[in-house]
Structure 1
Amino acid sequence: MIRTFGFKKDSDASFNFNLDSLSENDFQWYWVDFDNPSEPEIDWLRKYFNFHPLSIEDSIYSLNKPKLDYYEGYSFFILNALKSDTLGPTEISLFVDQNYIISFHTESLTEIDEAWERVTGERSNWEKGPSFAVYQILDKIVDQYFPAVYEIEDKLDRIDSNLDNKSSHKLLDDVFQIRGDLLKLRRIVTSMRDLLYRILNSERLPSFKEHKLYFSDIHDHLLKLTDMIESNREITSDLRDSYLSMNSNWMNKNMMVLTVITTIFIPLNFVAGIYGMNFENMPELNWKYGYFIVLGVMIGIGISMFLWFKRKGWFNT
């Protein structure tokens, strides 16, 4: 799908005009959005706009990080929107000059729809030009990063609350999954942060200067997101270490119980082993109280050793 918007100074705006009439209209500036275009519509990008083949190729074939390239007559942006289900990037390509913006994306995106509605739906924004449209797109993209980070923070809070729940055997797997999600977010956010830094400090984007405060605000949001992501990564490390430490303590307690039981039974086995030998000359075997005396001795040994371990503090934990 292709949608178009054009603004003529001191006149009304034009919507959904045909690209064939683009050269006939004296637009102050215009926006053409290629939304999940078909193959014939992709050919129109090559036909109606004299863009460098490399920038068109970068638009069609994904796998690019956010970047800013300068070509003769226009600037080329690649932005990364966020897929809420996988936290992977979705690319948006922008061809921008002082009198036009061409957006290209292979998936329909709410960020573009919201920016389009904000720019074209309010007459007060028509005169602000392509740089304002770029700001709106960037702002909507970055706004979608925050819910993903907040959701991860909520997951970490729930994990922290259940940290002492021994039945939560999936806890460590959840922590590692969250660390993976944070790594995906960090790659996107840091790349977009670097892109905003280039926009703010570029001398080849003069039309962006009038909206510098807006772009600076987005850059601040990305800095905040970077700090939040790093903070959450540290929390996952702390949770992992705490979980492993608690598991280690739990294992130590079990080993302590097994050690006490084994130690108590060593002398008992020794006594039982002596009287289990088949010697003929063992007088106490024929004594009518022999069994009870030996049994009492074994019980006494067991109780004595138990009390000794308790006195030494083995059962304090």
Structure 2
Amino acid sequence: MSKKRRIKTGMAPGSVIYTGNKQVDEMVIHHLQFNATSVKDSTIRKEKYLKITLEPDYIDWIDIRGMQDIEVITSISNHFKVHPLLQEGIVDVHQRPNYEEHDNAIFVTFKALFFDKSTLTVQREHVAVIIRDHSLLTFQEASSDLFEVVRKRISNSKSRVRKRGTDYLLFALLDCIVDNYYITLDQFEEMIEEIEDRISEDQNNAEKSKIHKLKKELLVLRKSIAPLREVISNFSRSDNTIIQENTNIFIRNLYENTIQIVDSIDSYRDMLNSLQDLFIAEVSFKMNKVMQLLTLISVIFIPLTFLAGIYGMNFEYIPELSYKYGYFVLLGVMFVLFVVLLITFKRKKWM
């Protein structure tokens, strides 16, 4: 448990404390207004965020990037009449993905995931979304824009999101995050295949460490993605008037995608377990080959050592010692034994 997370212990519900560690140079507040015929795009300076006005003929999407400035988060939330408990959830990055309905508003939290192949770690970013009939607030933990693809779709006059409500916009944001999960899993699979190829060629402790590291990061993936399945399920079953009937089919498709992703994670876990078994098997096989070679060398030298031992004894009368060519005969016998043993091992396919 992180130090910031422990700070909240014993505090009253609704205490707004940022529990993450991501810092941004400057908080960005992006205001996007759109309908079927027009789009208004603007970036609001931090000191002017309380002057944001909503227009009834537009869908208003206010995107806040950066969570460390609690004063700004609280002021914006109060400006849009966000419940204190929801404000607490906005900046609590350690909570699991969640779906709640409060006072004609829907509150959703989830995690954006990125896989760093150089360090074999999964980076997580906390995202909170609040939607109402004609407005949507998103809170991103980092300054980078996770939803740039959705913005480009909105700029297209023929895009479906331009003609729908905030419920479909929420679907589009979740769909963007889920699509990125597929990219993360593809990178995971590539790394698993690379490790498998290297294990087949050579076994070292570095590959064993990578397998253990990936198993731990896969657990992080599952803890972040599996609860999202419940979030989307609640989203699809909601009777809230904000959610239109024609959006449900898209949400159900998104739910199927999350099931597929969780199944893929389970498959990758099995693959890593198999890789671990393969590593142990390859190391054992390599050790067996070494032991087999040493055993064959020992078997070859046992009779040679026996002969050398006999004629190396310090008895005064050994008949062969007085023979003129006894030394060469002994070497010849040793060589014949060596060749016979080699042929025997070859025929039995021991070498």
TM-score for both structures, normalised by structure 1: 0.83
8 Å CA contact retained: 1:5, 1:120: no
Deviations 1:84-135 (A, max 9, x none): 4342321111122223222112213433333244346648745522212211
Task: Pick the aligned partner of 2:171 from 135, 139, 158.
Answer: 135
> One-letter code of the match for 1:30?
D
Match of 1:106 in 2: 141
Offset at residue 138 of structure 1 (A): 0.7
Deviations 1:222-265 (A, max 9, x none): 22222333333333333333343233223222211211110121
For the pair 1:36 / 2:57, whether they are aligned, the reply is no
Q: Give identity over the alignment, percent.
A: 26
Deviations 1:136-184 (A, max 9, x none): 1111111111222222333344444455323777444444444344333
Check 1:11–1:303 CA distance in 2 against 1; reply closer, same or farther (3 A cut). closer
Task: Pick the aligned partner of 1:201 from 208, 217, 237.
Answer: 237
Check 1:148–1:14 CA distance in 2 against 1; reply closer, same or farther (3 A cut). closer
- Whole-Å Cα distance in 1 between the matches of residues 333 and 326 of structure 2? 11
> One-letter code of the match for 1:279?
F
Choose 1 or 2 for highest CA Rg.
1
8 Å CA contact retained: 1:67, 1:79: yes
> One-letter code of the match for 2:309?
G
Q: Which one is further off, 303-312 or 65-74?
A: 303-312
Match of 2:30 in 1: 3
Q: What count of residue pairs does the alignment treat as equivalent?
A: 314
Residue 108 of structure 1 aligns to a residue in which SS? coil
Check 1:19–1:245 CA distance in 2 against 1; reply closer, same or farther (3 A cut). closer
- Whole-Å Cα distance in 1 between the matches of residues 317 and 241 of structure 2? 108
For the pair 1:216 / 2:243, whether they are aligned, the reply is no
Residue 107 of structure 1 aligns to a residue in which SS? coil
Check 1:49–1:273 CA distance in 2 against 1; reply closer, same or farther (3 A cut). same
> One-letter code of the match for 2:169?
A
Task: State how 1:1-317 maps to structure 2 within 5 Å.
Answer: 1-6=28-33, 16=42, 20-21=50-51, 26=56, 29-36=59-66, 38-85=69-116, 86-119=121-154, 122=157, 125-126=161-162, 128-166=164-202, 170-204=206-240, 206-315=242-351
Q: Which one is further off, 277-286 or 250-259?
A: 277-286
- Whole-Å Cα distance in 2 between the matches of residues 203 and 88 of structure 1? 34
- Whole-Å Cα distance in 2 between the matches of residues 259 and 115 of structure 1? 67
RMSD over aligned CA atoms reads 3.2
Q: Which one is further off, 29-38 or 57-66?
A: 29-38
Check 1:65–1:208 CA distance in 2 against 1; reply closer, same or farther (3 A cut). farther
Give ranges in structure 1 of 5+ residues lacking alignment: none
Residue 144 of structure 1 aligns to a residue in which SS? helix
Q: Which one is further off, 176-185 or 119-128?
A: 119-128
Residue 281 of structure 1 aligns to a residue in which SS? coil
TM-score for both structures, normalised by structure 2: 0.76
Give ranges in structure 2 of 5+ residues lacking alignment: 1-27
Offset at residue 190 of structure 1 (A): 1.6
Check 1:35–1:27 CA distance in 2 against 1; reply closer, same or farther (3 A cut). farther
- Whole-Å Cα distance in 2 between the matches of residues 15 and 298 of structure 1? 93
- Whole-Å Cα distance in 1 between the matches of residues 247 and 38 of structure 2? 23
